[in-house]
Amino acid sequence: MVSTRSHPSAFPPPDLSPTKRASSKDPTPAPTSLRGLTTTNGGAWYHAPRRAILYWLYISLPLVTWDASYVFLRPHSMPGGKFHSPVFSLYKIYCDVDYNYGFPAWDAGTGFTAAQSLLNVAETLLYVAYLAVVLRNGSSDSANAKKVVKGSAAAQAVLLGLTAAVMTLSKTVLYFANEYYSGWENIRHNDWATLTASWIFPNTMWILFPSYMVYSFWGEISRGLEAASGLPLKKTQ
């Protein structure tokens, strides 16, 4: 028989928590940082725009605006037109590479060029709105020297960015698909060197960077929704 002995003091109550966690009443929960997005235990969102995305927008938006201006000012912006020189002089070369921008499409009354430029305008307005939200509501993060947008403004920013990026990506894929299904009608007259340098490479940039933007914004929204639903946050590298 095993004898029992009295213990000099009562056993302390067991600690049911494997780790020390902040109480739900803690007014200042510690933030959990993620790439681009930070959420706290209280559910606040912080969006830190990635530098690659900002640099791409600063470069691409003026180019897209220039391109759309050329399309909507045709035929005056085309070679021989009153607005062609000096603003649209470089299009004299591109008109001979891609007939969508040249006289063959214009004379045939092809509407695809103007239709895709109209979508360019819509995308540009969405990107400008994204930048406006970031610049107006962002505060400096001294640790990373970044603009950080918080709360509802952060949610607005990532939704605007995702919408615009999906539009750009799908429209550019459509541009390639249009050529493919028309037997490369507007570009098949080029040699491979000219085609690669003047058409394939530039247009591919509008697939690569928007794809990166979709990946970035999609991930932020997904992680935010997971946090809001109570799922454990997944840290990214």
Q: pLDDT tens digits, residue range 103-121?
A: 999 999 999 999 999 999 9
Report if residue 73 sits inside a domain.
Answer: yes
Res. 100 pLDDT band, cuts 50 70 90: very high
Q: Which residue range(s) make up the domain with 172?
A: 44-227
Report if residue 14 sits inside a domain.
Answer: no
Report if residue 24 sits inside a domain.
Answer: no
The whole-model pTM stands at 0.77
Mean pLDDT along residues 71-76: 97
What single DSSP character describes residue 3? Answer: -
Report if residue 30 sits inside a domain.
Answer: no
Residue 229 has pLDDT above 90, yes or no: no
Report if residue 127 sits inside a domain.
Answer: yes
Res. 151 pLDDT band, cuts 50 70 90: confident
Report if residue 236 sits inside a domain.
Answer: no
Which pLDDT belongs to residue 231? 60
Token pair of 79, please? 């070679």
Residue 40 has pLDDT above 60, yes or no: no
Res. 26 pLDDT band, cuts 50 70 90: very low
Q: What is the chain's mean pLDDT, rounded?
A: 83
Report if residue 57 sits inside a domain.
Answer: yes
Which pLDDT belongs to residue 110? 94
Sign of CA dihedral 64, 68, 71, 76: negative
Separation of alpha carbons 167 and 161, rounded Å: 10
Q: How many domains does the chain divide into?
A: 1
Pairing of strands 37-40, 31-33: antiparallel
Order of strands across the sheet with 146-150? 31-33, 37-40, 45-47, 146-150, 139-141
Alpha-helical (H) ranges within the chain are: 51-72, 91-97, 103-108, 112-137, 151-181, 192-195, 201-228
Report if residue 34 sits inside a domain.
Answer: no
pLDDT digits (tens, 9 = 90+) for 160-213: 999 999 999 999 999 999 999 999 999 999 999 999 999 999 999 999 999 999
Which pLDDT belongs to residue 57? 97
Which pLDDT belongs to residue 23? 41
Mean pLDDT along residues 37-64: 80
